């Protein structure tokens, strides 16, 4: 019986399988490397897209912040304008009130009495003056009580420490100012120097 040597064929077959395995392994490695590269590119693309979206959001946020600041500035401007409007209305109301007040102070001033100073704070006034006698100061208070614009006059100080012989007594009184329906705003505070006599004294009897 003849014998056939199959060793070379088997060795060749084994080598072929090894080559096929190495080829498959190399292909798998190449495919894996390609997959990694593709994943990296994809990740970088996603990262770039997210970066662009973040930049867009930052620009929009910056624009919104600018608009908010503009709105706040407009609100401040509006408040300032309203305050100015209120001040103007107060000045107009105070001017009307001052006209009536001075008119009443002059027309109610009796002979022998002169005013030296007048201070106004909100809707109250403080008056200082000189008088020849207590009776004339009392008459002045009674005249003010009849006024339509000056209310609740109250004498605070009356003394005779002045060396002025023509007006021997110094007095101080406070009173309230009446405001009409369209004069609700507070009067502007101010000090007025009335050192010069408002009404020349007359030499009548006390």
pLDDT of residue 1: 53
Query: How big is the chain, counted in residues?
Result: 206
Asked whether residue 153 is domain-assigned, the answer is yes
In the sheet where 169-177 sits, what is the strand order?
150-159, 169-177, 124-131, 113-121, 190-193
Asked whether residue 146 is domain-assigned, the answer is yes
pLDDT of residue 90: 65
Asked whether residue 27 is domain-assigned, the answer is no
Q: How confident is the model at residue 205 (pLDDT cuts 50, 70, 90)?
A: very low
Asked whether residue 77 is domain-assigned, the answer is no
Asked whether residue 181 is domain-assigned, the answer is yes
pLDDT of residue 163: 60
Percent of all residues in the chain with a pLDDT value above 90, rounded to a whole number: 1
Cα separation, 189 vs 179, whole angstroms: 15
Query: What's the predicted TM-score (pTM) here?
Result: 0.43
Cα separation, 142 vs 25, whole angstroms: 122
> What average pLDDT score do residues 117-128 get?
82
- Count the domains in the chain: 1
> What average pLDDT score do residues 61-66 get?
90
Asked whether residue 161 is domain-assigned, the answer is yes
Say whether 202 sits in a helix, a strand or coil.
coil
pLDDT (tens digit per residue) in 136-193: 888 888 888 888 777 788 877 677 765 655 557 888 888 887 765 544 444 444 444 4
> What average pLDDT score do residues 75-99 get?
77
pLDDT (tens digit per residue) in 6-40: 557 677 788 888 888 888 888 888 888 888 888 88
pLDDT of residue 187: 41
Please classify residue 73 by burial: count the beta carbons closer than 10 Å to its beta carbon, then call 0-12 exposed, 13-18 middle and 19+ buried: exposed
**Cβ-Cβ contacts under 8 Å for 96 (sequence gap 6 or more):** 183
Asked whether residue 3 is domain-assigned, the answer is no
- How many helices and strands, by DSSP H and E, does the chain display? 2, 5
Domain that holds residue 180: 90-193
Percent of all residues in the chain with a pLDDT value above 70, rounded to a whole number: 75
Asked whether residue 74 carries a pLDDT value surpassing 60, the answer given is yes
- Tokens representing 191 are 């000090």
Asked whether residue 169 is domain-assigned, the answer is yes
Q: How confident is the model at residue 111 (pLDDT cuts 50, 70, 90)?
A: confident
CATH number of the domain enclosing 160 = 3.30.1360.100
What is the average pLDDT score of the chain?
76
């Amino acid at each position: 019986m003849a014998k056939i040597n199959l060793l070379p064929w088997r060795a060749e077959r084994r080598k072929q399988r090894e080559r096929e395995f190495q080829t498959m392994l190399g292909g798998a490695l190449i495919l894996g490397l390609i997959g990694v590269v593709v994943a990296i590119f994809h990740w970088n693309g996603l990262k770039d897209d997210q970066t662009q979206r973040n930049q867009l959001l930052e620009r929009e946020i910056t624009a919104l912040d600018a608009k908010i600041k503009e709105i706040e500035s407009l609100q401040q401007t509006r408040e300032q304008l309203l305050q100015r409007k209120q001040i103007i209305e107060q000045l107009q109301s105070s001017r009307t009130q001052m006209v009536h007040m001075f008119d009443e102070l002059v027309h109610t001033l009796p002979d022998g009495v002169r005013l030296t100073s007048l201070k106004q704070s909100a809707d109250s006034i403080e008056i200082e003056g000189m008088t020849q006698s207590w009776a004339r100061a009392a008459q002045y208070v009674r005249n003010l009580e009849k006024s339509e614009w000056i209310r609740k006059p109250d004498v605070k100080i009356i003394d005779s420490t002045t060396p002025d012989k023509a007006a021997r007594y110094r007095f101080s009184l406070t009173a309230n100012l009446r405001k009409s329906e369209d004069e609700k705003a507070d009067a502007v505070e101010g000090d007025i120097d009335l050192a010069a006599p408002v009404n020349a004294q007359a030499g009548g009897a006390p």
